[in-house]
Structure 1
Amino acid sequence: MARPRQFDEDEVLRAVCDQFWDAGYAATSLQDLMRVSGLGKGSLYAAFGDKHELFLRVLRRYVASLDRAVRRSIDSAPSALEGLRSFVMMPVGDPEGVAARRGCLLANSTTELAAADPAVATEARQAYERTTAVLAEAVRRAQDAGDLSATTDPVGTARALLAAQQGLTFMGRTGMDVATLEATARSLADQLVPT
């Protein structure tokens, strides 16, 4: 008879996610994972598989949370246009710049691993396509409200917004000051979805 798990799976996955997010995949060792999870090697492997399987599980969990956050942000804005603008501003959302410095786990992982890891490339591609679909839907709503021109290409605009937002994420990782990032984000929003 199998023994019941003696740990909180959500807590372990959050700790492991933070480790991968802060250090990256390659720089995270098995010892790091054991330290942050509080689990021994055997327990870690039995519960989550090897390092790669654990990473993919954490990445998928993060992406699901990100998908919900993007949709919630867009849908809770006073208008579709404001939701699109707030999406561009996401990397500079906190005044201390913690989010900008840390970046996005998906973007960080894509940069580090996608060229050599087909599973990460697939996860990233699917995540970005889902985000594009949410943004394109918001562009269409902004068009219906008369806030964007009827000739605006919803999918093209959505991809441009995503590229702009991800570009800000990458710029934030360089240590660029938050005021400059915020000014850049506003400029991008003004050009892509003018009010």
Structure 2
Amino acid sequence: MSIGRPRQFDPDRALERAMETFWSQGYEATSLQDLLAAMSLSKSSLYQSFGDKPRLFDRCLRHYARERESALLESLEASDSARAFIETTFNAAAEGTDTERSRWGCLLMNTASEFGMRDTRVSQAVAEGVARFTRVFRAAVERAQREGDVPADRDPQALARYLVTNMTGLRTLLKAGIGRDEARAVVAITLRALD
């Protein structure tokens, strides 16, 4: 009985490369040839391992959201205080130093802008990703309230949504070319909402 040929590629790395391609170019502008080149796959290997372009894109959106959530949670857990985590996260975004990919904006918001609500699967993946980020910031706000750095009477869910809204807006502005001084000013105003 044949067990089949072993895979000749790293599926996690191939997914990461596909995600980067969609993220930097957008869904519509990304051709099948772009994906095959980025992932170093043949067309048959791509279809066998990831399905068609829409299914691959869905996996990329979900991978992006999990990856960002994991990085944020790790940073929150390592921070001396939750308020410091929030401030560091926003200041790093303003400086463009939190990731080499910062000039691409936020993949979820890029996708929301490109698709609107015309594709249910895409809308659901975007909404689930936003919910992941909101949970992280809610956990940060609640911890900051316990630590006495955010007033206890503030609604943590509303503050978390506010922070996610401002972070995604900031990333979009950075993608559009806003300067660092302007970005820092936006962050300063955003952080005042926690006082």
TM score, norm. by length of structure 1: 0.89
Letter paired with 2:121: A
- Residue 151 of structure 2 contacts residue 194 of structure 2 at CA under 8 Å; is this kept in 1? no
Whole-angstrom distance in 2 between the partners of 1:80 and 1:158:
12
TM score, norm. by length of structure 2: 0.89
Match of 1:36 among 38, 41, 53: 38
> Secondary structure in 1 aligned to 2:148?
coil
Whole-angstrom distance in 2 between the partners of 1:93 and 1:3:
47
| Aligned residue runs from structure 1 range 143-158, under 5 A | 143-158=145-160
Letter paired with 2:193: L
| Aligned residue runs from structure 1 range 24-103, under 5 A | 24-94=26-96, 99-103=101-105
Whole-angstrom distance in 1 between the partners of 2:76 and 2:132:
13
In structure 2, relative to structure 1, the CA distance for the partners of 1:99 and 1:135 (3 Å cut) is: same
| Aligned residue runs from structure 1 range 159-174, under 5 A | 159-174=161-176
Unaligned stretches of 5+ residues in structure 2: none
Whole-angstrom distance in 1 between the partners of 2:58 and 2:107:
12
> Secondary structure in 1 aligned to 2:93?
helix
Whole-angstrom distance in 1 between the partners of 2:111 and 2:183:
21
Cα deviation, 1:22-65, whole Å, max 9, x if unaligned, reads 11110011111111122221121111100011111122111111
Whole-angstrom distance in 2 between the partners of 1:184 and 1:16:
32
Whole-angstrom distance in 2 between the partners of 1:96 and 1:178:
13
In structure 2, relative to structure 1, the CA distance for the partners of 1:47 and 1:95 (3 Å cut) is: closer
Match of 2:20 among 15, 18, 21: 18
Cα deviation, 1:153-178, whole Å, max 9, x if unaligned, reads 11111111111111101111111122
Cα drift, residue 137 of structure 1: 2.2
> Secondary structure in 2 aligned to 1:115?
coil
Q: Displaced runs of 4+ in structure 1, greater than 3 A?
A: 93-100
Unaligned stretches of 5+ residues in structure 1: none
Query: How many residues are matched?
Result: 193
Cα drift, residue 98 of structure 1: 5.1
Partner of residue 192, structure 1: 193
